[in-house]
Amino acid sequence: MTGDQAAQAELAQRIQVVGGDITLQAVDAIVNAANSSLLGGGGVDGAIHRAAGPGLLEECRTLGGCPSGESRLTRGHRLRARFVIHTVGPVWHGGRNGERDVLRSCYESALAIAALEGLSSVAFPAISTGAYGFPPEEAAPIATRTVVAWARARALPTTVLFVCFSEKSVELHATALQAALQG
């Protein structure tokens, strides 16, 4: 096995796609696909707030919101995860308003927080693919390429999970991750 093959195999062990409920992940941090107020909403955001309990909302109220493409850190409260990294993804407007760059920034800013905090494991949802309407077929390659590129260029948490709620999302992310690892 060459050095490149060994590095690729090591990344494939550290970056994985799983199906399931992100709120049940036993990781250092889960990433919340939040709205800009950080005060809860529907989809993943609502599920995380419900599972974490009222302490998460109280802590989020102190943060003053978050712009699209950026991330903020809170404690995990009642979650199995010690922390929540809230990131605000782009609303899809046909891809003509920089949505792809903003989505990439969501993953990068969340990874930057994880690295700064010394977190060893992070779980991501499929950011912006629900109510924000980002096409999942486009979002999965952006997510996986961004995480793989980050891992190749910088320190990465020991484990990064893409936690997908639907079987279609699992398939899209698994295919995209395989392509990103080979690229």
Q: Give catalytic residues, as residue numbers.
A: 45
User: Closest Cα partner for 123 from 151, 83, 95, 177?
Assistant: 83
Rounded Cα distance, 124 and 157, in Å: 12
Q: With contact defined as beta carbons under 8 Å apart, do 73 and 113 qualify?
A: yes
Q: Which residues pair with 83 in a beta bridge?
A: 29, 75
Q: With contact defined as beta carbons under 8 Å apart, do 156 and 122 qualify?
A: no
Rounded Cα distance, 83 and 77, in Å: 8
27 secondary structure, DSSP code = S
Rounded Cα distance, 147 and 153, in Å: 10
DSSP class per residue in 33-70: EE-TT-S--SHHHHHHHHHH-HHHHHHHHTTT---TT-
Rounded Cα distance, 11 and 159, in Å: 9
